[in-house]
Chains A and B, each alone.
Chain A
Amino acid sequence: MNDRERTRTIQVPGGDDQRPAANMDNLPTQVITDTSNLKVGVLKVVDGPGKGQERPVFSGTNQMGRSADNRIPLDFGDNTISRQQHAVIAFDASDGSFRIFDGGKQNPVSVNGERLSGDRPLSDGDTIKIGLTTLRFSLM
């Protein structure tokens, strides 16, 4: 995966502006430990260059980006996904809920066709569009 390649901006209605990242002050830090290595969900690529691939979602905080060092690496050649922290999925073990946070990057993120601004809850069966890639989220 070419990490030096710049992220390409795509034309999305109301997109390609620099949006402020979601407020992540209350989000726990992504520290990878034994307890946080529990797989709690899965993302399946349903459209885009990585179609058919799957990525696990872990307990705790999950950074999504094009670089391989993200906890959810979207490293299948879609250069419209930012390298680091294009979005973040957080699993709260206390109530079993998921939330998705916008990383404020070049290209917007949408959930079920609705543009993400800040953060919102994520539930089983939701589709996430990030760059030119569409992912379907399901519980483990």
Chain B
Amino acid sequence: MHDWFVYLLLGVVCVAAAVRLLRRRPAMQPAQFANEPALATGPELDAHSEPYTPAPSPHQPPMTEQASIVVTACQDAPNTKIMPFAEDMPVAMLQFEGKHGQFPLRRGEVVIGRHSEDDVRIVDVRVSRHHARLVVRDDGGSEIENLTAARAEPNMMLVNGVSANNASIKYGDIVTLGGVSFRYQQAVA
């Protein structure tokens, strides 16, 4: 009878402690970037919005898993354009077949070709040196231009199998330069 009462008391204390702990824990707040332009990488990036929590207020200890990725600069300079993940986040992805693998684009404008100075280098003799220029737009699509078009011996560029010298491409489109193809894709973190 006495033991039963002690266990009940212990249980009540435990539940109360758990409730207190849960109420103290700050709720995950969504990013408040109302003034920010939409991310160049498109709507699916919403899935990654939780890391951009506002700086924690002094009386709330930061949650450990957020500590390394909190963006604080926007508080001091509200007009500064801050692109979260600007350093690490690719703006788009080129998915090649086979061993060429994936190529994440970390800049909005790249030259694709066989030359060692090209930003995206495809070491395949069917691809021209400085073959194409790809410029990523704000909405995630891209403009791609065949740089060989004006040369004496132009090399082909196909977009979804159709020859083009200038084209707008969107996620999922397949571009062929010489004999090598890649799919233009949304970047994933």
Contacts and interface: CB of A to CB of B under 8 A. Distances in A.
B126 A25 contact: no
A79 interface: no
Task: Name the residue in A31, A63, A83 with the highest tally of chain B Cβ atoms < 10 Å from its Cβ.
Answer: A31
A24 B123 contact: yes
A21 B123 CA distance: 8
Contacts of B129: 25, 29
A36 to B, nearest CB: 9
Contacts of B116: 23, 25
Interface string A57-88: 00001010000010000000000000111001
Contacts of B127: 29
Given A29-B155, A31-B153, A69-B179, A63 B125 contact: yes
A37 interface: no
A27 B178 CA distance: 15
Nearest to A103: B123
Interface residues of A, number: 17
Contacts of B170: none
A88 B114 CA distance: 14
Contacts of A23: 116
Nearest to A30: B125
Contacts of B155: 29, 31
A139 to B, nearest CB: 21
A94 interface: no
Contacts of A31: 126, 128, 153, 155, 178
B137 interface: no
A83 B100 CA distance: 12
Contacts of B50: none
B107 interface: no
B113 to A, nearest CB: 9
Given A25-B115, A85-B123, A33 B178 contact: no
Interface string A94-123: 000000000010000000000000000000
B114 A29 contact: yes
B128 A29 contact: yes
B115 A85 contact: no
B166 to A, nearest CB: 20
8 contacts: A23-B116, A25-B116, A29-B155, A30-B125, A33-B153, A83-B98, A88-B125, A104-B123
Interface of B: 98-99, 114-116, 123-129, 153, 155, 178-179
Given A24-B125, A31-B153, 19 more contacts: A23-B116, A24-B114, A24-B123, A25-B115, A25-B116, A25-B129, A27-B125, A29-B114, A29-B125, A29-B127, A29-B155, A30-B178, A33-B153, A63-B125, A69-B179, A84-B124, A85-B124, A88-B125, A104-B123
